[in-house]
Amino acid sequence: MADSGLPRFTVIIVGGSLVGLTTALALEKAGIDYVLLEKGEIAPHLGASISTYPHTQRVMEQLGVWPEIKGTAAPLGMREHYDSKGKLFEHSAILHEISKLTSQRWTILVERRFMLNCIYNQIGDKSRVHTQTCVATFTETEDGVEVVTDKGETFRGDLLLGADGIHSTIRKLMADKIAITNPASSKELQTGFTSTYNCVFGTSKNARVSDGTQFMPTGGVQNVYYPGFSGIVAIGTPGLAFWFLLVKGDKETRMPEIPKFTEEDLEATIAKYGDYTMGPGYTFKDLWDSRVKANMLALEDGVLRSKWNTGGRVALMGDSVHKSTINAGLGGNLAVEGIVHLVNELVPLVRQCEASGRKPTKSEITTALDTYEEKQRPHAKKIVVMSRYLTRYESMETWWLRLLRRVSPWISDKTKTKVFVDYMNEAPWISFLPSPDEKQELS
């Protein structure tokens, strides 16, 4: 943007994971000032992985991130489904079909820290990213918003975005501010997510310690179904196996009482389920023994019913407002959709106002934030509910889900693919950057 001599519109982003980094990069591409505050480091090694589908690849192409991801990732292909006796009951080509119908784009599963680093590497001015910076309070006025950190630092801007995940500090501060005037919404902000399933997330070498044999070829995916628990393993990066052991908890819990697990809990879970077969010729214990990193977390899910913004200059994004279980692998993709919906409202507004020699008013910002929520909320509900049922389907939780598992192999891959592709075709791309499909046609 041309320098008008006016103070620049500035966005304060809290959270430096997928949502915060992608939002920062999109704003930088748009020429909008921002600062990003992350309480820890960028891309810590937690053993987690992340999947992206073709509609998210399209956005990563626009942002210039995709070439680095593509250089390491491998497209996921055939998916094998095994029952509790080790019998292959379904051999699915749905991921191939999705690729065919989405301009040959990929479905991938990579280390989360790798993807975060790929996004971070595209940020030009890294001085805007502040690590080891925890937010203590924020104050918003008619003219702006001010954030104070636990170290006493002050950051001032025009918009504050809480991209700080399921345990969002910004969401808690919002709840505290309205506790007296709107206790129902305050309670919803603090208790709006539940958890029924727990998950061991692992990244392992793609070889058994005992004899060095591969678990699967690169690009392979395997699922196994047991009563009350299930497993997934995928070779999304050459040499690495990303795996998940999902176990139903004793009861449903609600925030803030959702449990946190210790290393002892993790080891006890492996001791209990490790000898069960995950795929042909190997067990969960084999994956565990080959691990690079593993962690255990409760799987929260839900969509906050209360408004995602304060009615002013503060809004929530990503896992801080919608969280899905991991079986469908759509949580990160949903978060990217939300980023696109938000920047597609915000950037044209800021540009239009700056062309008129002013900043957007509080009212105009609120309208943009409301529109972002109106567009994102229906997709969030759809993905959260679909993921919830898939988690229960894979652990055969009810009789009718067990029946559906028997029926599933008789439903064609093309029929299943259509459901996913129709959803992906609805997903937005960044309106102020060149269309990724046009760029493909020109290349």
Residue 114 belongs to a domain with what CATH number?
3.50.50.60
Judged by DSSP in three states, 305 sits in coil
Q: Note the Cα 333 to chain centre separation in Å.
A: 6
Q: What is the pLDDT of residues 129-148, one digit of tens each?
A: 999 999 999 999 999 999 99
Radius of gyration of the chain (CA): 22
Quick one: tokens of 327? 């079986």
Quick one: tokens of 331? 């949580």
Q: How confident is the prediction for the chain on average, in pLDDT?
A: 94
Closest to 13 measured CA to CA, from 324, 311, 333, 342: 342
Q: What is the pLDDT of residue 435?
A: 86
Please report, as a single letter, which amino acid is at residue 320. S
Could you give the CA distance from residue 48 to residue 144 in angstroms, rounded to a whole number?
37
* 269-291: burial string, b at 16+ Cβ within 10 Å, e else: bbeebbebbbbeebbbebbbbbb
Q: What is the pLDDT of residue 5?
A: 62
46 vs 355, which has greater pLDDT? 355
Residue 35's domain comprises 10-193+302-442
Residue 106 maps to a domain: yes
Length of the chain in terms of residues written? 443
* 216-239: burial string, b at 16+ Cβ within 10 Å, e else: bebbbbbbbbbeebbbbbbbbbee
Cα angle vertex 17, ends 65, 305, to 5°?
115
- Is residue 442 scored above 60 in pLDDT? no
Looking at the structure of the chain, the number of domains it has is 1
Any residues with CB less than 8 A from the CB of 5 and at least 6 apart, and which? none
- Is residue 318 scored above 80 in pLDDT? yes
Q: What is the pLDDT of residues 14-31, one digit of tens each?
A: 999 999 999 999 999 999
Residue 2 maps to a domain: no
The H or E element containing residue 80 is strand 79-82
Q: What is the pLDDT of residue 13?
A: 98
**pLDDT bracket for residue 72 (50, 70, 90):** very high
Please report, as a single letter, which amino acid is at residue 386. M
**pLDDT bracket for residue 436 (50, 70, 90):** confident
Half-sphere exposure of 412 (CA within 13 A, CB side): 4
Decide: pTM greater than 0.85.
Answer: yes
Cα angle vertex 219, ends 214, 223, to 5°?
80
Stretch 163-186: mean pLDDT: 97
Q: What is the pLDDT of residues 251-266, one digit of tens each?
A: 999 999 999 999 999 9
Q: What is the pLDDT of residue 404?
A: 79
Q: What is the pLDDT of residue 274?
A: 98
Stretch 201-208: mean pLDDT: 97
**Cβ neighbours around 104 below 10 Å, total:** 10
Residue 209 maps to a domain: no
Residue 136 maps to a domain: yes
Could you give the CA distance from residue 111 to residue 397 in angstroms, rounded to a whole number?
29
Residue 355 maps to a domain: yes
Residue 420 maps to a domain: yes
Where do we find the tokens 């990732």?
73
Q: What is the pLDDT of residues 146-161, one digit of tens each?
A: 999 999 999 999 999 9
Burial of 264 (0-12, 13-18, 19+ CB in 10 A): exposed
Quick one: tokens of 109? 């599963």
- Is residue 37 scored above 50 in pLDDT? yes
Stretch 299-321: mean pLDDT: 97
Residue 259 maps to a domain: no
Residue 312 maps to a domain: yes
Q: What is the pLDDT of residues 370-407, one digit of tens each?
A: 999 999 999 999 999 999 999 999 998 887 777 877 88
